Amino acid sequence: MTQLSINTARLISEINTLATFSDAPAPAVTRILYSGQDQAARVWLRQQILDAGLTIREDGLGNLFARWEGSEPGLPAVGTGSHIDAIPHSGKYDGVVGVLGGLEAIRALKEAGIKTKRSLELVMFTAEEPTRFGIGCLGSRAMAGTLKPADLLAMSDPEGNKLDELRQAAGFKKTLSGVQLAQDYYSSFIELHIEQGPRLERDNLQIGIVTSIAAPATLRVILHGDGGHAGATLMPGRKDALVAASEIVQEVERAAHESGSPDSVATVGLLQVHPGAVNSIPSKVTMEIDIRDTRLASRDGMVDRVIEKIEEVCGRRQIGHDVTILNRDNPCQSGEEIIQTAERVTQRLGYSYKKLVSRAYHDTLFMAQICPTAMIFVPSENGYSHRPEEFTADEEIAQGVEVLALTMAECANL
């Protein structure tokens, strides 16, 4: 088998450099879509890609495509990639390992003199994280056509800034109708990512081959109470939006524990109280609820149960409520042929591995709507992710890059 040389030192240096483009002090990373740090990171990344001899194009949302042409450039390419946006106070590996690792995979193939039939294309997806516009995988949803230009034009961030204005101010002025990719744009897509969970480390394994990605749903709930003076408003008849919310938060947790599925997870990760004064009864609460399972029926059962609870609590407490389902996605299955290719490559390299489900969602969830996909996982220390302690060892990342590179090369010669 072809011997690849992964330049681990170069890759880790790039991961560490990218981590410096952050609105949070190290070791935390915060890098929100279209922020100054995001734009500075993009400038830096573009230069790394150009130095590697790839050609770049960017679409109207800021999805970046870096291509190394194959010997038959007219064929659908093999894609890889991930994201560089980072939720507040998170780590430096989530998404980044798939972007810089994907770049390193292509460089390693180039430097080994391997020319594939199909072109290889690295994608840096715009806004995999839901932080700014409330929905994750903004770029890949639009590329897959599940988000239409009209949906994008209607989007604003919590401060009321319109996505359309922000994207153009960041330099992305192409028409949004050009973002959607044709069904045969890629022949396959493979994403390298940290596991963001404990299984590989617990089982002392080097590689994870993802067979499916769990189905995420996100609800935004706004509760409207009466508010009033905390001292002068007696308890009878109060319509306290936060106490109502607290009943709902408890039900979210119960719904996941009692769903009957071990893969059910449910979290209230965002809760804002208005007016937010100690001596004022909460008159409005905004909460966002993240509900997931690998099984659609379990996931939807939890969503329905939480919505029923919201209606019951708000009826009993005479609280107004608005429920918006921000996304309610299907799970995706990896392409069997790519799984087998990745497994063959991993075995030939002699790395320990297991097949597993991804409980986190990824851009691959939406790329699966336009081509066969798979993911390669590398271990997360203590299973930590979305926190500054996120860590994967240098050689573990390099091993993932090697598996990715050789899997892509095989797929690109089909």
Q: What are the residues binding ligand HGY (CB under 6 A)? A: 128-129, 136, 360-361
Q: Let me know: does 361 contact 342? Beta carbons within 8 Å.
A: no
Q: Around Cβ 47, how many Cβ atoms within 10 Å?
A: 10
Nearest of 305, 275, 304, 303 to residue 289 by alpha carbon: 303
What are the angstrom distances between the C-alpha of 50 and each of 20, 66, 98, 112, 161?
Answer: 20, 9, 18, 18, 32
Nearer to Mn ion, 95 or 301 (CB): 95
Nearer to ligand HGY, 38 or 402 (CB): 38
Min dist CB 44 to ligand HGY, Å, is 22
Nearer to Mn ion, 94 or 410 (CB): 94
Residue 361's binding partner out of ligand HGY, Mn ion, none, with CB under 5 to 8 Å set by partner kind: ligand HGY
Residue 85's binding partner out of ligand HGY, Mn ion, none, with CB under 5 to 8 Å set by partner kind: none
Min dist CB 31 to ligand HGY, Å, is 13
Residue 136's binding partner out of Mn ion, ligand HGY, none, with CB under 5 to 8 Å set by partner kind: ligand HGY
What SS3 state is found at 204? Answer: coil
What are the angstrom distances between the C-alpha of 270 and each of 30, 281, 288?
Answer: 16, 19, 5
Q: Let me know: does 141 contact 368? Beta carbons within 8 Å.
A: no
Q: Around Cβ 23, how many Cβ atoms within 10 Å?
A: 16
Min dist CB 128 to Mn ion, Å, is 5
Nearest position to Mn ion, beta carbon: 95
Nearest of 393, 401, 409 to residue 78 by alpha carbon: 409
Would strands 353-358 and 207-213 be described as parallel, antiparallel, or unpaired? parallel
Nearest position to ligand HGY, beta carbon: 360
Residue 18's binding partner out of Mn ion, ligand HGY, none, with CB under 5 to 8 Å set by partner kind: none
Min dist CB 84 to ligand HGY, Å, is 13
Nearer to ligand HGY, 70 or 95 (CB): 95
Nearer to Mn ion, 70 or 130 (CB): 130
Residue 38's binding partner out of ligand HGY, Mn ion, none, with CB under 5 to 8 Å set by partner kind: none
Min dist CB 414 to Mn ion, Å, is 27
Residue 134's binding partner out of ligand HGY, Mn ion, none, with CB under 5 to 8 Å set by partner kind: none
Nearer to Mn ion, 126 or 259 (CB): 126
Nearer to Mn ion, 29 or 205 (CB): 29
Min dist CB 97 to ligand HGY, Å, is 12
Name the phi and psi angles at 38, rounded to 5.
Answer: -65, -45
Q: For residues 103 and 201, what is the distance between their CA atoms, to the nearest angstrom? A: 25
Instruction: Please give the full DSSP string across 64-114, using - where no structure is assigned.
Output: EEEEE--SSTTSPEEEEEEE--EEEEE-S-TTHHHHHHHHHHHHHHHHTT-
Nearer to ligand HGY, 107 or 193 (CB): 193
Min dist CB 8 to ligand HGY, Å, is 25
Q: For residues 346 and 288, what is the distance between their CA atoms, to the nearest angstrom? A: 39
What are the angstrom distances between the C-alpha of 285 and each of 51, 127, 161?
Answer: 49, 26, 21
Q: For residues 223 and 310, what is the distance between their CA atoms, to the nearest angstrom? A: 9
Min dist CB 384 to Mn ion, Å, is 12
Q: What does R_g of the chain's alpha carbons equal in angstroms?
A: 22
Min dist CB 204 to Mn ion, Å, is 24
Nearer to ligand HGY, 4 or 15 (CB): 15
Residues found near Mn ion in the complex (CB under 5 A): 94-95
